[in-house]
Amino acid sequence: MGSNDLPEALHAEQLLELAAQAGVKQAEVYQSRSLSRPVFFEANRLKQLESSQSEGVALRLWREGCPGLAVAYGPVEPQDLVDRAIAMTYLNEPEPVELAGARTDHYPDLGETVPVETLVEMGKVAIAQIRDAYPEVLCTGQWECEEETTRLVNSQGLDCHYTDTTLSCFIGAEWVRGEDFLSVYDGETERGTLTSEKVVQQILQRLSWAKENVSPPSTRVPVLLTAKAADLLWDTVQSALNGKQVLEGASPWSEMLRARSQGVVLLTDLIPLVTSDTLTITQQPDIGPYSCPFDDEGTPTQPLLLIREGRLQQFYCDRTTGRLLGTSTTGNGFRPGMGSYPSPGLVNMLVQPGKGSLCDLIGQLDEGLVVDQLLGGGAGLSGEFSVNVELGYRVQKGEIIGRVKDTMISGNVYTVLKQLVALGGDADWNGPCYTPSLIVEGISTTGRS
């Protein structure tokens, strides 16, 4: 599915031409089209097959410097879309026009389509493997092949598009034992090939660890966050590195930008630590199942060194934020939704792994808590969190002794990241974040015996 497959009513060139005829010289058209074929399982059985297709176009233009945005989903009359965008300009104040320069980039298609029959068979095999070991478990699942095409064209001569196909699976296992209810889930997203074996083995391991229920630790102990639970930390880090949050003074690391703007030049060794010196975080937009060649403003994405050995190196920006910060865009201008203006967003945040498997990390704990699934919201930009542990295990003398229930963890992300004990070598994709498991201190644990 390429840009040539988009319906005639959504052809970008026609919208640009109509805008020019109306006296608007600066405009851009953002187009997105997706085709998804999910397969659903419920209570160990195939439940339903679906096929959904969506398409949308967003026209952004500037009339005498005043911006206007209009969005349509599905077929649309081009002149109506242009008229709506122009009408919006009368409600907005003038601003600098942020358009990428002339460039034509048609990137090769990524990924391969998998037939629905293959997805169904993958689901049946995976659920059968789990139930062979635990016949009393009820499994749900979703296997999906999704193809998405993105195209961006503007009046400056920019024309770039790409198509990517991703394969994903999600498996959940519910185990009811009297009044005790256990839910274990995991998933994986890949391009090209997808096997459910890794996810199945992870679920079987979690079920094995949860055979016995034990009391949570009664004192503060090191906490091991698996790759699945580590989002508790990284969502906050992403927000703190957002140039827009820095510009508004909301990020706790804004002071470093202010020092540079006042002409204070810090040597690398004098830059204060914002995390443990064992932590290095980068953006790598050209790898993994969430790779992206350009942002929603048409700027090519690029690798970024964000934190090196605990020291802040840079923030990420879109065009507007980069201009206001006195720097430039880092190629991170993305739309939260079709009807939104671009704002800073990361592509493929990578946390540099350490050494050892998850079991190796567990073996380092004399007394500790493993957190694998959480309930409730994250920490937010403030870093403060207090969340319930949906799935956790107690560790004694390097071994898991059972599952803990009715347990809550609390703390502050920025404080915890300065008390990093160990990073595992078991990094995995958790959404567009590639993270290993990690052991941290500074987290309070409360629970009921």
Query: Residue 8: is its pLDDT beyond 90?
Result: no
Separation of alpha carbons 314 and 324, rounded Å: 15
Question: Is residue 42 a contact partner of residue 155, using CB atoms and an 8 Å limit?
Answer: no
Question: Could you tell me the pLDDT band of residue 258, with boundaries at 50, 70 and 90?
Answer: low
Question: Could you tell me the pLDDT band of residue 265, with boundaries at 50, 70 and 90?
Answer: very low
Q: What is the mean pLDDT of residues 219-229?
A: 95
Per-residue model confidence (pLDDT) at position 378? 80
Burial class (CB in 10 A: 0-12, 13-18, 19+), 389: buried
Dump pLDDT digits (tens) for 132-145: 999 999 999 999 99
Dump pLDDT digits (tens) for 290-335: 999 999 999 999 999 999 999 999 999 999 999 999 889 999 999 9
Per-residue tokens: 232:
């508790």
Q: What is the mean pLDDT of residues 254-280?
A: 71
Domain 3-190 part of CATH 2.40.30.10: no
Backbone angles phi, psi at 199, to 5 degrees: -65, -40
Per-residue tokens: 220:
């503060």
Q: What is the mean pLDDT of residues 398-424?
A: 96
Q: How many residues does the chain have?
A: 449
Separation of alpha carbons 16 and 10, rounded Å: 11
Q: Under 8 Å CB-to-CB from 166, ≥6 apart: which residues?
A: 111, 145, 146, 148, 189, 190, 191, 289
Show me where the domains of the chain are located: 3-190, 212-449
Dump pLDDT digits (tens) for 365-396: 999 999 999 998 788 899 999 999 999 999 99
Query: Residue 264: is its pLDDT beyond 80?
Result: no
Q: Are strands 45-49 and 158-177 parallel, antiparallel or unpaired?
A: unpaired
Q: What is the mean pLDDT of residues 234-243?
A: 96
Per-residue tokens: 261:
């703007």
Dump pLDDT digits (tens) for 17-31: 999 999 999 999 999
Separation of alpha carbons 140 and 126, rounded Å: 11
Q: What is the mean pLDDT of residues 201-216?
A: 96
Question: Could you tell me the pLDDT band of residue 268, with boundaries at 50, 70 and 90?
Answer: low
Q: Under 8 Å CB-to-CB from 359, ≥6 apart: which residues?
A: none
Spatial CA neighbour of 301 closest among 15, 35, 14, 100: 100
